[in-house]
Structure 1
């Protein structure tokens, strides 16, 4: 039997909070970051369409194990809806399928917002990444199929009208996992009787990462001019956020080096002290501020589920 193939790249780990530019796909962005950092593994926490800009959290190395916790986080978008046309993709990229000369008043738009706040049912766009019978909806839609996509429950915590003209309306939304802003534009237009599509979309927040953590792609690619591999990679690594920051919404325990060693061997540890948590389905453990494991707490023990390399 041959030896296991050694992974290509560096075992670098952490989160890069990319400010994704327009006309750049999420998968393309991940590939570019993986190449720049010479990383063994990379993945993102929530697709942004090529015509959308803003926050795209990218996980490198062991941080990919924490992607689901970021995917579940709240998100904030600013978006502009153009009235008068509904399009196949619900944004500027698609062909016009319905049009109207009607335009809503500001009062009409404001009156609509309570209907789209809280837990609502939403039909995803025909051109979306959800799977229908094992295939991506956008692949089927590109082939000319008209899809019967069932509605899904999504949660909208806040929806504000920031301004409007007769032809455009600018909004800000704070929403939960799985919300399609393009679907909102489509449904707003239908409810108002004027049709609508997304004219611009920018994501400014993905919990728990704040807007000031974003790094423009141009700032990273500018470092390609550094000739020394060591210096260039050190400059890139300075933009990484510790893997554990993705878990800041979970309960946390600080442990000793001896306890960390036991956890890395796959063993539970006993939690002592008056302030020790009694029961948690998920919590994370750190030693000297570095992530060691995600696990569950019960019966006075922390039991690891996912162990991280903190060397």
Structure 2
């Protein structure tokens, strides 16, 4: 692909940042633009919780929506070009055939998901902005097609820009949810991912996550959290925006006293403190600004913030002006009320 085409695609992607698009529209527009520079036969986009790198949402093109099998194999921490490796490494894009030394069959993801669908080429890119991973996209080419190192490097060039777009679209611009907040709910799944027990409150939370009553239609964020627990044996926690605009916290852990591989998930409204760091990161606050915002959330006055951070009150005010500008507010009350308590 010509350098001129790649430059035009990059320029158009930069313009998306001014369009105030929702997450689905960002993925749709970006996927169409990227196809001009990186032709592919199918693709998928995922959002992630930057704190845990667990997938929280998806958008697919020329391929079916992800199911439990995809949740199990697509993002194995031990597989080649894992999301953690790409997110934390110096290069955020990777070609599967290159990572496997020309032997993609070494990858469980390739054996279980790609090869059965005649997909050989996979180019995966972690969407990293300001040190946090907000999602990823994977492009696929049918055999015998594959991706080159040059295409990999171009995808890496897009990682930060797309990370900021996904971060902004996925975290900002949502309502606070309406109606009463359900009580915390509990769901228990067995080794085959079937629901063993579920409370009424949990049904309400699953509905907010897009749950459909048909078998196998559990919300993808729930499935990915469950698979993370099954793969590691450790508890995990993710934060997801529901269709109501309300932040939902899913805490998954091995179910004690039950059969092996049973997983219990607690679904509840995410406490403001649990999403404060996520929202701060979405606005691109610096580390110092995040410290200051945390103290503002706790109700500390300027003098108290200055003492705790060992800076002058004047410096506190300077940081606050920067925070207000980035968040699009004019006061502490607006910052807390409009951006954190009701993002």
TM-score by length of 1: 0.26
Whose Rg is larger? 1
Q: Which structure has more RCO (C-alpha within 8 Å, separation ≥ 6)?
A: 1
Q: Kindly indicate which of the two structures has a greater share of residues assigned to helix.
A: 2
TM-score by length of 2: 0.24
Q: Kindly indicate which of the two structures has a greater share of residues assigned to strand.
A: 1
